[in-house]
Chains A and B, each alone.
Chain A
């Protein structure tokens, strides 16, 4: 270092030591500045470098801005019951169809979705995962056997057909090489399934979940089915064979299997039950599967493993029932309420243990009793199709199974028959899909959204629905141009929790819905509230919160009158001259008691549109009996937001 610089440096340092003293004297009036080699900074200067709100409205935004549409419940010909009725489509065809490709149905009809879905879970019955043998390429154990090696070489030379013929002959003559019988080398249908899921899973474009259905029909047809959805890929999924109902029909055993799986693989699973309406009172029973009293541990397990419930599908809608919600004019919708899956009649007392709204209320009581709410689930939907084709659109409905694909007689064909009950094809509902608020189209992102319940159920149309709960929403938030911004900033999205209201504070909700461009306009946005009182009684009320046009709520009932009907049944058409394409509002609970547990969920209702039966009648030129519904008011159900009082 040169002498002059060193001198200069010493001077600078000396001055710097004095500078704070002199400057700070000046700065006594303001904040004490900090000296840096760029000059001094103080709070004022610093504030300019870090503005309270960014200039760009889109930077730093990491909440979901797009709904990803999918079906969490699809069966293919690899499900024994689907294959038995003639479904020849496998998982590959099901995935291609869901992605938007045109395929041929099992009966040879060309079919294509109006728009691709973003994700799907093929959930074939785990009982179907049999064991077959496969020759493994290059596996040294197998290649040691000269016969197997010769077969492999034949396959390599393009003579695979001959190789397989020889293999079959060997099977039938009991001359299978010993190495092939080793159980450790046995490949299952399960692993073929996961391989196909991997081939079609395209992160960012289309998500193919690995999953299966555990199909418990305990006690002769009481539906306790669950879909198990994997967050992970083949490498984890293949480590353990799915649980079947030969192993157990008790959901608690399924949860144990799931826990063992997570421990072994480090992955994540969730289970989605469906069709409580066909469980003859078992789905939300107030005893365990084995008839024992409910415990906290049981409630914790159920809450942990089953964060979502399938609210609507082809075999009926499970939101609520007219006998449970007698003042809800929209409750009598696509009901399958006479029996269980085997056609065994429903007895009094069973209905109370089968529907979503009732179960959500029951969950509040159980939380008070057990300390944990076992029925704290969000809502999703799927089709449960057994055709391999996920169709939930009224004008493109391919039915429950191959025997119910479009024909002139499918409306009068029998779906379930028993001495007590008959269910006909016309009773199928063309439903439903799940809308997920996820940040990316990947397994992880969508699964995480399902786990935190930021997703919702629709009966088919792709209605975009926002449902936020908070303490401080006001009318301005309904007029803002970015409602989601206000929603996430001031509240929680669907699936979330509000707790311990401060004095004078009442829950407020920012709600918004945007119609499906291909479907009907929107009639109204409702908030369904359920709560329990100090005496342990359950209550519910449906509020009309936003609606189209200038209708006025009835003076006495508070209900908004019906929106009207533009459906031309004979022509299977309608016009969007009633209803509105968008609804948005802020609503405040007028009946809030901070000491009482409650939940709130959004229900969005469309104007009437033609039901799939009207399209069938027109296309096949048939006249259906007068009791077959021809119109439908499609709807969406959001996952709830729960309110829990403070201590």
Chain B
């Protein structure tokens, strides 16, 4: 009769019901989270798969293709769960670097939400004027003498040609003077880097020292000898913001992104304690900011 009393005990009923619920829950796979054995495919998920397919192939998937997508997704979901249970996601360099990239992308988007102000851009331009300088410009003409063709006579020929050029008037036709070359005979007013590009750095440096208007030379380049007339020069300058706005904005935003990333990591570091082992001694504890656990 004691058993009967026991069986009527509410606590026992309570425990039995609880056990039954627990057993049922366990048997049915217990929810559908990563550690459960339930894989739930919502209509939203299917829509997402179909949308992805459409964005690549420019048409919605057929029924057979949708089934293929679903089968593949289920397989992937199983693989991910099994892999994570086995710890395959830990210590995988690719996964770690990928996660870091995704995290930094989120921050990147957050920072881009606020456009820079006029004052911020002007201040950036003022502080970094050297990056936005408009290059000095130069316009020149050149007459080329080839060492391959003239050998030892090249220098003497150059001096003779220089005299001819200096004595000739502004109407002198240059076309037939000197030797044929693929090098440009004239550079119209353009950035100094065009001279470097066409003739090399050493030549451009020599041109910098020439007086305006006069035929000079011979200058040496990797190609041979040149007689050069600088026709125009424009000094470099720092442009107003209106002219270089896109470039300034680009650099400003890059810098802001960098600073925000640094701040982000600083804030996060406050949550952690970094403990370092010394190679030659026992572990020493390093407290990294407040709030270390």
Residues of A within 8 A of B (CB): 77-78, 80, 83-84, 92, 115-116, 130, 132-135, 137, 152, 155-156, 158, 160-161, 163-165, 167-168, 181, 183-184, 189, 192, 199-200, 240-244, 247, 257, 260-261, 263-264, 464, 466, 479-481, 483, 512, 514-515, 517-518, 548, 576, 580-582, 584
Task: Render B7-40 as a binary contact track against A, CB cut-off 8 A, 1 for contact.
Answer: 0000000000000000000000000000000000
Complex CA distance for A299 and B164, rounded to whole angstroms: 61
**Neighbour of A132 across the interface among B94, B106, B175, CB < 8 A:** B106
Taking A135-B113, A481-B175, A518-B200 as known contacts, 4 extra A-B pairs with beta carbons closer than 8 A to each other, sorted by chain A number, are A84-B93, A161-B107, A517-B203, A582-B181
**Residue pair B52, A183 in contact (C-beta under 8 Å):** yes
A183 to B101, CA, bound (A): 21
Known: A161-B263, A580-B148. A80 touches B113 (CB 8 A): no
The answer on a CB contact under 8 Å between B114 and A80 is no
Kindly state the interface size class of chain B when it binds its partner: 35 or more
Contacts A132-B106, A479-B180, A582-B223 known; A164 to B58 CB distance under 8 Å?
no
Complex: chain A residue closest to B72, CB-CB: A246
Using CB atoms, name the residue of chain B closest to A67: B197
Among A183, A241, A517, the residue within 8 A (CB) of B200 is: A517
Q: Across the interface, do A167 and B222 meet the contact criterion of CB distance under 8 Å?
A: no
Binding site secondary structure of chain B: helix
Q: Is the CB of A240 within 8 A of B55?
A: yes
Contact of B57 among A200, A260, A584 (CB under 8 A): A260
How far, in angstroms, from A93 to B271 measured CA to CA in the complex?
31
Interface string of B143-154 (1 = CB under 8 A from A): 000101000000
Assess whether B206 is interfacial by the CB under 8 Å rule.
no
Say if the beta carbon of B264 comes within 8 Å of chain A.
Answer: yes
Return B249 CB to nearest CB of chain A, in Å: 9
Cβ–Cβ contact B110 & A160, under 8 A: yes
What are 23 A-B interface contacts by the 8 Å CB criterion? Answer: A78-B101, A132-B106, A134-B105, A135-B113, A158-B114, A163-B110, A165-B268, A181-B44, A183-B51, A183-B52, A192-B105, A247-B56, A257-B56, A257-B57, A260-B58, A466-B182, A514-B183, A515-B222, A518-B200, A580-B148, A581-B148, A581-B224, A582-B146
Question: Are A164 and B110 in contact, CB atoms less than 8 angstroms apart?
Answer: yes
* B246 lies within 8 A of chain A by Cβ: yes
A155 touches B114 (CB 8 A): yes
Lowest 9 A-B CB distances belong to which pairs? A517-B200, A160-B110, A155-B113, A183-B48, A581-B223, A514-B182, A183-B51, A134-B109, A84-B94
Q: Are A161 and B260 in contact (CB under 8 A)?
A: yes
Residue of A nearest to B265 (CB): A161
Minimum CB–CB distance from A6 to chain B (whole Å) comes to 53
Let me know if B110 and A576 touch, CB within 8 A.
Answer: no
Contact of B236 with A by CB under 8 A: no
Closest to B58 in A: A260
- B163 at interface, CB cutoff 8 A: no
Contact yes or no, A161 B180, CB < 8 A? no
- Whether B52 pairs with A241 at a CB distance below 8 angstroms is yes
Least CB distance from A576 to B in Å reads 7
Chain A residue with Cβ nearest B148: A580
Q: State whether B199 touches A517 (Cβ < 8 A).
A: yes
Contact A132–B102 (Cβ < 8 Å): yes
With both chains docked as a complex, state the minimum distance between the C-beta of A372 and any C-beta of chain B, in angstroms. 26
A83 B51 Cβ-Cβ under 8 A:
no
Beta-carbon nearest neighbor of B49 in chain A: A183
What is the CB-to-nearest-CB distance from A326 to chain B, in angstroms, rounded to a whole number?
33
Residues on A with beta carbons closer than 8 Å to the beta carbon of B93: 84
Q: Is B60 an interface residue (CB 8 A)?
A: no
Q: Kindly identify which residue among A83, A163, A580 contacts B98, using a CB–CB cutoff of 8 Å.
A: A83
Given A84-B93, A581-B224, A135 contacting B103 (CB threshold 8 A): no
Inside 8 A of A167's CB, which chain B residues have their CB?
Answer: 106, 110
Q: Which of B216-262 contact A (CB under 8 A)?
A: 221-224, 246, 250, 254, 260
B55 close to A156 (CB less than 8 A): no
Contact of A168 with B106 in the complex, beta carbons under 8 Å: yes
Nearest chain B residue, comparing its CB with the CB of A519: B222
CB distance from B172 to the nearest CB of A (A): 15
B106: chain A residues at CB < 8 Å are 132-134, 164, 167-168
Residues of B near A466 (CB, < 8 A) are 182
- As a 0/1 sequence over residues 186 to 214 of chain B, the CB contacts with chain A under 8 angstroms (1 = contact) are 00000001001111110100000000000
The answer to whether the Cβ of B47 comes within 8 Å of any Cβ in the partner chain is yes
Q: Specify which chain B residues have a CB less than 8 angstroms from the CB of A584 in the assembled complex.
A: 180, 182
Measured CA separation A483–B182 after assembly (Å): 8
Give CA–CA (A240, B58) in the complex, Å. 7
B111 within 8 Å of A by Cβ? Answer: yes
Q: How far is the CA of A92 from the CA of B102 in the complex (A)?
A: 16
Measured between C-beta atoms, what is the minimum distance from B74 to chain A in Å? 16
Taken together as a complex, chains A and B put the C-alpha atoms of A133 and B201 apart, in Å, by 48
Chain B residues lying within 8 Å of A257, measured Cβ to Cβ, are 56-57
State how many angstroms separate the Cβ of B73 from the closest Cβ of chain A. Answer: 12
Q: Which residues of B sit under 8 angstroms from A192, Cβ to Cβ?
A: 105, 108
| Bound Cα distance from A96 to B221, whole angstroms | 29
Q: Are A115 and B260 in contact, with the CB atoms below 8 A?
A: no
Q: With A80-B98, A576-B222 known to touch, is A199 a contact of B183 (CB < 8 Å)?
A: no
Most B-side CB within 10 Å, residue of A183, A189, A244, A576:
A183
Shortest beta-carbon distance from B132 to chain A in Å = 12
Known: A158-B114, A160-B113. A243 touches B56 (CB 8 A): yes
- Pair B58/A92 contact, Cβ less than 8 Å: no
Most buried by A among B108, B183, B222, B246: B222
What residues on A are CB-neighbors of B44 within 8 Å? 181
B56 touches A155 (CB 8 A): no
Alpha-carbon distance A584/B199, docked complex (angstroms): 18
- Tell whether, in the assembled complex, residue A152 and residue B113 are in contact, meaning their CB atoms are under 8 Å apart: yes
B47 lies within 8 A of A183 (CB): yes
Nearest chain B residue, comparing its CB with the CB of A256: B57
- Interface check B293, CB cutoff 8 A: no
- Asked whether B267 is an interface residue with its Cβ less than 8 Å from the other chain, the reply is yes
In angstroms, how far is the closest chain B Cβ from the Cβ of A630? 23
Which one of B47, B196, B254 lies within 8 Å of A92 (CB-CB)?
Answer: B254
B97 contacts the other chain (CB 8 A): yes
List the B side residues contacting A189 at CB < 8 Å.
Answer: 105
Cβ–Cβ contact A480 & B180, under 8 A: yes
Q: Which residue of B is nearest A478, CB measured?
A: B180
Inter-subunit contact A464/B110 (CB<8 Å): no
Q: Say yes or no: B110 contacts A155, CB within 8 Å.
A: yes
Which residue on chain B has the smallest CB distance to residue A200? Answer: B250
Return chain A residues, CB-CB under 8 Å to B196: 115
Contact B110 A240 (CB under 8 A): no
For B103-123 the 0/1 string (1 means CB < 8 A from A) is 101111111011000000000
Give bound CA distance, A13 to B254, whole Å.
77
- Cα distance A241–B56 in the bound complex, in angstroms: 5
Picked from A115, A152, A581, the residue with its CB within 8 Å of the CB of B197 is A115
Most buried by B among A116, A518, A548, A581: A581
The CA-CA distance from A483 to B180 in the complex, in Å, is: 9
The answer to whether A161 and B221 touch across the interface, beta carbons within 8 angstroms, is: no
- Contact check, A137 vs B223: say whether CB atoms are below 8 A apart: no
Q: How far is the CB of B141 from chain A (nearest CB, A)?
A: 13
Are A261 and B98 within 8 A (Cβ)? no
A240-B56, A260-B57 known; A135-B224 Cβ under 8 A: no
Q: Which residue of A lies closest to B174 (CB)?
A: A481
Instruction: Give the shortest distance, in Å, between B177 (CB) and chain A (any CB).
Output: 10
Q: Which of B123-144 contact A (CB under 8 A)?
A: none
Contact A156:B181 (CB < 8 A) given known A257-B56, A517-B222:
no
Residue in A closest to B268 when the chains form the complex, CB atoms = A165
Cα separation A643 to B141 with both chains bound (whole Å) = 40
Which of B52, B148, B183, B221 is the most central at the interface, judged by chain A CB atoms within 10 Å of its CB?
B148
Distance (whole angstroms) from the CB of B179 to the closest CB of chain A: 9
B222, A464: Cβ atoms under 8 Å? Answer: no
Given contacts A165-B267, A241-B52, contact A581 B105 (CB under 8 A): no
> Which residues from 153 to 179 on chain B have a C-beta closer than 8 Å to any C-beta of chain A?
175
